[in-house]
Amino acid sequence: MDPKERIEQLRKDINYYSKLYYDEDNSPLSDYDFDMMMNELKKLEKEHPELVTKDSPTQKVGGHANNDFTKVNHEVPLQSLQDVFSFDELFDFDKRIKESGETAYCVETKIDGLSCALKYENGVLIQGATRGDGLIGEDVTKNVKTIKTIPQKLKEPINITVRGEVFISKDGFEKLNAEQEVMGKALFANARNAAAGSLRQLNPKITKERPLDIYIFNVQKIEGVEFNSHWDELNYLSDLGFNVVPFRKKCSNINEAIEAIKEIGDNREELTFGIDGAVIKVDDLKLREQIGTTFKVPKWAIAYKYPPEKKETVLKDIKCQVGRTGVITPVAILEPVKVAGSTISQTTLHNEDFIKEKELKIGDHVIIQKQGDVIPEIVDVLKAKRDGTETDFNMPTVCPECGSPAFREEGEAAIRCTGIECPAKAMLNIVHFASKDGMNIEGLGYKIVEQLLENKLISNIADIYDLTLEDIMTLKKNGKKFAQNLIDAINDSKNRDLSNLISAFGIRHVGKKLAKVLARKYRTLNALMEASVEELTTKDDIGEIIADSIYTFFREEQTIDLVHRLENSGVNMTSLEEESDDDRFSGMTFVLTGTLNKYSRNEASDIIEKMGGKTSGTVSKKTTYVLAGEQAGSKLTKAQNLGIQIISEEDFEKMIK
């Protein structure tokens, strides 16, 4: 490929990944791979200056302001930094600086988060803005005011704009993803994406729930105070009440600066937050003015990126761990080896397919890589070093935590535990059981369940009904009212319909809708538990896979034990709906769209299902009727195009009389 073609391809790829990273807070590419692409582009443009264009990624700051937010013009641009990957490049940087004068350097950790400017008038926070493209950012004032480490009022009534990095700590990220997992929400790929997405929420209440933090690292603009050095600025910011970047070191020359960078690299595993490098800045502020900047980067600062480090070790064994959702994950037990500042003795092998793809055997010599704060991963197998003593690994057929059968769903890579009382799945099972789609126990959400488990007040679903007022009162200061409300909600849940209980079990493929179908057909939980696969498949809604899932679930010892305990606690196990032999809608499928006046959609759906019909969320050739209310949208249009019969609410009432 000639230089022009390669440059165009690199620009296209970099712009694509930049958009994902800066604007959508989600990029599948590692920082190192992105940096290498950018480095190649810079090198090619340096060799062919005639091919440099104004819109090249090398000439502009990544990202732009989202139209969903009010735009903010930065009085002082929030520039990016030039990246380097070797100490030789740092010595070159030092030579360029010395052409303008001698200076000390400040070395700081380069925090992996989202850059943000905070503006204060008379010491009061009036605005928070993202970097955007460096000149125009997004107004996120309401969101930054929810971050506890951002002072609303400074210790002095000063006019100042500062720049910092919003981030989520390592522990905070793990807890956030654990909560996402249990609530059935998508996991964040990394802490940076989580922080950026949390700060740019349109609803500040969501931002408030996220464990955001900030470190301030620069004065953008200040009135009435002058500084000679960046070091003095940072100390002043700390005195004002800001959470200033914690690792910062003043160095008299480039050699000391490089030693500080090595120190950060050696100890980054112990940092409570993620970093993606270290930053060297000229300390003398007047010299900075003399050195100047380009449009994109200051010439007086540079970012050192730690290269990924690879080491050889031995795969001693493979053990399996059970996650909160029941996913059984193989973990490599390694001969301990130091990589990128930390000793690695184990790492995830993801799933069965990963092991097969790498052709891994226990006893293999392997290459592991760790880039920055990313989890180490096996990247290669040294098959030439095999001596015949290596052994194959097979995934377990039962859960290593509780002994229940393990299964792999068709089309999925993960193998899961089926046990409803599995201690590893306790959080997931209890939260789902208490949710609106289950027994609807108001007040028993993720955080309360987490506290109950941590305090060993419960260990499984059935324990909910053994909780006492005194147990719950220990969770909150002056928590008697809360405790009484939760006890009342738990007692109320005993009287829920059978369909709620079936849905609450979290049986594979059985959601709230199918749970209602099963409750109406079998009337009692005992009858459903005794149903054979053949009997279950006589219902149109249930195929062999679903029938087998239901049948297997109710024959597991853990399920039988749970049912007995719930029954002894007084939980209702019968259908509370009146039996009906009215099947006038048998074989018919309805789609509801728009707003109905006399019924909610749930009420209308219940009526249809009680009369033997089905409801669906999508219009197809199999749809019998589309029940259209006011402001019906695309579903109505699609029904008209397919020639599906459309009925009004008035028509529907005539049909159900």
- What residue spans in the chain does CATH classification 1.10.287.610 cover? 3-59
Percent of the chain with pLDDT over 70: 95
- Report yes or no: 35 and 19 within 8 Å, Cβ to Cβ: no
pLDDT at 371: 57
Is pLDDT at 221 greater than 80 in this prediction?
Answer: yes
Angle subtended by helix axes 87-98 and 254-267, to nearest 10: 150
Is pLDDT at 470 greater than 70 in this prediction?
Answer: yes
CATH number given to 423-568: 1.10.150.20
Alpha helix locations (H) across 596-633?
A: 601-610
- Report yes or no: 389 and 523 within 8 Å, Cβ to Cβ: no
pLDDT at 178: 85
| Range of 4-8, 157-161, 347-351 with top mean pLDDT | 157-161
The residues pairing with 138 across neighbouring beta strands, listed in sequence order, are 71
Q: How far is CA 632 from CA 377, 592, 601, 648, 652, in A?
A: 51, 9, 13, 11, 16
Domain covering 310-385, topology: OB fold (Dihydrolipoamide Acetyltransferase, E2P) (2.40.50)
Report the alpha-carbon distance of residue 349 to residue 353 in Å, rounded: 9
CATH number given to 71-304: 3.30.470.30
pLDDT at 376: 84
The pLDDT mean for the chain works out to 89
* Torsion (CA) 187, 190, 196, 202 in degrees, nearest 10: 0
Average pLDDT on 635-647 reads 90
Is pLDDT at 136 greater than 70 in this prediction?
Answer: yes
The amino acid at 510:
V
Lowest mean pLDDT segment, chosen from 45-59, 332-346, 488-502: 45-59
pLDDT at 28: 61
Element (H, E) at 318: strand 309-322
- What residue spans in the chain does CATH classification 2.40.50.140 cover? 310-385
- What residue spans in the chain does CATH classification 3.40.50.10190 cover? 589-656
Please enumerate in sequence order all residues whose Cβ is within 8 A of that of 70, keeping only pairs 6 or more positions apart, or say none. Answer: 138, 139
Sign (positive or negative) of CA dihedral 436, 441, 442, 444:
negative
Lowest mean pLDDT segment, chosen from 48-62, 183-197, 237-251, 418-432: 48-62
Average pLDDT on 463-487 reads 91
- Binned at pLDDT 50, 70 and 90, residue 24 comes out as low
Six-digit token pair at 199?
A: 């700060």
Global confidence as pTM: 0.68
Report the alpha-carbon distance of residue 569 to residue 551 in Å, rounded: 24
Average pLDDT on 611-638 reads 87
Report the alpha-carbon distance of residue 58 to residue 60 in Å, rounded: 6
pLDDT at 63: 53
Q: 618, exposed or middle or buried, with CB in 10 Å at 0-12, 13-18, 19+?
A: exposed
Is pLDDT at 254 greater than 60 in this prediction?
Answer: yes
The predicted-structure confidence for 510-525, as pLDDT tens digits, reads as follows 988 899 989 988 999 9
| Centroid of chain to Cα 123 | 35
Average pLDDT on 344-357 reads 92
Percent of the chain with pLDDT over 90: 60
- What residue spans in the chain does CATH classification 3.30.470.30 cover? 71-304
Domain covering 589-656, topology: Rossmann fold (3.40.50)
- Binned at pLDDT 50, 70 and 90, residue 574 comes out as very high
Q: Quick one: three-class SS letters along 77-109?
A: CCCCCCEECCHHHHHHHHHHHHCCCCCCEEEEE
Average pLDDT on 132-154 reads 93
Is pLDDT at 189 greater than 80 in this prediction?
Answer: no
pLDDT at 61: 57
Domain covering 3-59, topology: Helix Hairpins (1.10.287)
250 has catalytic annotation: no
pLDDT at 60: 61
Candidates 54, 60, 110, 513; catalytic one: 110
Report the alpha-carbon distance of residue 599 to residue 608 in Å, rounded: 12
Average pLDDT on 20-40 reads 66
